[in-house]
Structure formats: structure tokens, C-alpha cells
Amino acid sequence: MSESEHGGWIDLSPADIEALDDRWARAWTPPEIAQRLAGVATPWYVAGGWALDLFLGRQTRRHADLEIAIPAADFAEISGLFPGYVFDGVGQNQLWEDATAEVIAATHQTWLRDQASGDYLVDVMREPHEEGAWICRHVPTIRLPYAEIIRRTADGIPYLTPELVLLFKAKHARPKDQRDFEGAVPELSSAQRGRLAELIGGVYPEHRWLAAL
């Protein structure tokens, strides 16, 4: 890793990026992060592929990391719960170790790092919001109350509703996203399928997933 001369960030080389797989190999699971965040007031939820597995009620594949999301303004409520760990700010192939408040304000992702082992344990994404409403960072015109976007497992773990998880995945539709789509869609209600088709159609009107919805 090489440190930039322009702001204290680290430029991640292809080798550094490949090595991240091992640094994330011991990431927490949804039950582990839920235990650590028990009692917090801010709305939070598991995102990404893990959210779909929570919806399905089973783990369908190996996950490269664990992603959760919170309102950006409430990061301090979360960050104070992890003494002995630090948050690294993350940008496009760039990393700010033990991120300052300025870096936190300018980035979207923060990776919780165990200082002793160097392992990354959870990716905390700080989402835009306004007056109690969640704002989709890719499509700011999509604004929904948190009560509409957060579902819970039988044991209370919050996760992002699958329609929105798949909307995010539609942007790149990588092979793992395609598999997640094919696994989740049969379990969606007709209302959820219609909502997903509306969301994807409004953002990506030529998307190949629309034919399956």
C-alpha cells in the first residue's frame, strides 16, 4: 500500500484489493452485529446479500463481508460502541485509516477494523436521509420512511426490504447479483414483485431483469 501525498489516504493496489478477501474472512454475522447494536435508537439494518438471506431465512452463499446501513447523521451513536476498534474511511480504491471527522463527512463507507489483527468486521454505510425519511443514494428522488424499508427476522434482526436490495444490485448485475436475484424473486409477494419492477423500470428502463418480473 502506498500513501498519497495529497490527503493522507492510501491508494489500494490490485494486490491490496485481492488481499482484502482474507482481511474480511472473519467478518461478523448478522446475529453478532445485532447483539452489539442492541438498544441503539437510530434505525439500522443489514444490507446487501446478507439481507436477502435474512429474508429467505437461510444462508444461500458465502458473503465477502457484512454490510449494515444507518442514517449518516447518527454515525456517532454507532461508532462509540466499539472500543478497541477503529473505523477506516473507504473511497474508490482508497482507504483512510482511523478516519477523521472530515473523511467521515466526505465518504459513504466505513470499515470497522480490529487493530490487533487487522481484520475487517463490518462495513457501516452512512446513508442520506431527511426528516425521518431514507433517501436512496443512487436515486435521490426515491425517499421512503424507515418503517417501510426495514423488515425484521423472527428474532428481531433488521434488514433492508428485498426490493431495495435488488434495486441496488441491479446497477451492476454481477454474476453474484444475478444469482441473488434468481434466488429471491420466487419468494417475493406479487406486491413486492410489482414494486421491484416499478423501481427498476424507473431507473433502468432497459434492464434485463424486468422480463422476469
Asked if the model's pLDDT at residue 203 lies above 60, the reply is: yes
Average pLDDT of the residues in 193-211: 96
Average pLDDT of the residues in 90-115: 92
Same domain for 57 and 98 = yes
Phi-psi label, residue 52: left if phi above 0, alpha if psi -120 to 50, beta otherwise:
alpha
Contact (CB, 8 A) for 168 and 138? yes
Q: How confident is the model at residue 1 (pLDDT cuts 50, 70, 90)?
A: very low
User: What pLDDT is recorded for position 18?
Assistant: 86
Same domain for 140 and 82 = yes
CA distance 1 to 51: 32
Asked if the model's pLDDT at residue 118 lies above 90, the reply is: yes
User: What pLDDT is recorded for position 7?
Assistant: 54
Where do we find the cell 454475522? 29
For residue 90, give the C-alpha cell: 473507504
Q: Inter-axis angle of helices 162-170 and 48-56, to 10 degrees? A: 140
Contact (CB, 8 A) for 42 and 74? yes
Same domain for 167 and 148 = no
Same domain for 169 and 154 = no
Same domain for 167 and 141 = no
Average pLDDT of the residues in 114-124: 96
Task: Enumerate long-range contacts of 186-189, CB under 8 Å, 24 or more apart.
Answer: 187/55, 187/56, 187/162, 188/162, 188/163
Same domain for 113 and 67 = yes
User: What pLDDT is recorded for position 8?
Assistant: 72
Contact (CB, 8 A) for 64 and 25? no
Same domain for 196 and 101 = no
Higher pLDDT, 83 or 59: 59
Asked if the model's pLDDT at residue 6 lies above 70, the reply is: no
Contact (CB, 8 A) for 52 and 180? yes
Whole-number Cα distances in Å, 8 to 12, 89, 124, 152: 13, 11, 21, 39
Average pLDDT of the residues in 17-27: 91
Same domain for 127 and 49 = yes
User: What pLDDT is recorded for position 5?
Assistant: 39
Domain that holds residue 42: 2-160
